[in-house]
Amino acid sequence: MHRTPGTTVTFPTIMVYSMTDVATVWKQALPGIRQSVTGVGIWTALNTCVPILMEGDTMILGLPHEAGELAGHLRMHSTKMLIERLLSEQIAQKVQVRVIDGITEEDWNTAKRRDTERARLQEQSANRTRAEIQARSSWETIYDQISRAYAAMPNKSLPQNRAAFFRDAVQIIVEGLMTHPVDDDLSERNYARCLERIAQYCELPSVYVALRVMEASTQ
């Protein structure tokens, strides 16, 4: 990067710049940042941190591993906003700041790999939660369908009516299994809950209800 001494360094957008270029920008902006903050902790953090590079519109500031406890001073919302504003004014474009543990480009690469892994785990957890909610909702619907069928049954004390309800309830479960396979612990428990509800209504062992559903499912 070529510049005239005393001029403001200007970065094009969405580029990666070296530690030397970023160090120049940081050095120019640092006096103004220091004048705008107070406290031994933040001053120590500012004096200890190292500008690593500029990636896109984000300046990466690193702290030595042994000084990691100082990161909180730089990540504090008001301080971070101040630093970003003064850096943005310095290079005439919007700048975001990311504070990491470590002061080398490899430390930044490590942080990005951790970001990627964290995002993967979060997405995995979100997908699992969505699947659990869907499974719970699906079997909850079947559970409610069984309850409504029982509520609509006339003369519940008559064995022939309960037998007809039992036949219909088994069919409801069989149809539910076609669209909501029981393939994990959550669906197993929700499926069992429906079987137990039929058993309760019909005064039958839940194992017998499960057996009749299994038989009907293979026909």
Which CATH superfamily, name and number, covers 16-108? Answer: DnaA, N-terminal domain (3.30.300.180)
For the chain, domain boundaries? 16-108, 129-217
CA 70 to CA 37: how far, in whole Å? 15
Q: Report if pTM > 0.85.
A: no
Give, for all 219 residues of the chain, the pLDDT tens digit. 444 444 444 544 434 455 558 888 899 999 999 999 989 999 999 999 999 999 989 999 999 999 989 999 999 999 999 999 999 998 888 999 999 999 999 999 999 999 999 999 888 888 777 766 666 667 888 999 999 999 999 999 899 999 999 999 999 999 988 888 887 788 888 899 999 999 999 999 999 999 999 999 887
Q: Which ranges in the chain belong to alpha helices (H)?
A: 19-35, 40-48, 71-75, 77-91, 105-151, 159-179, 185-202, 206-217
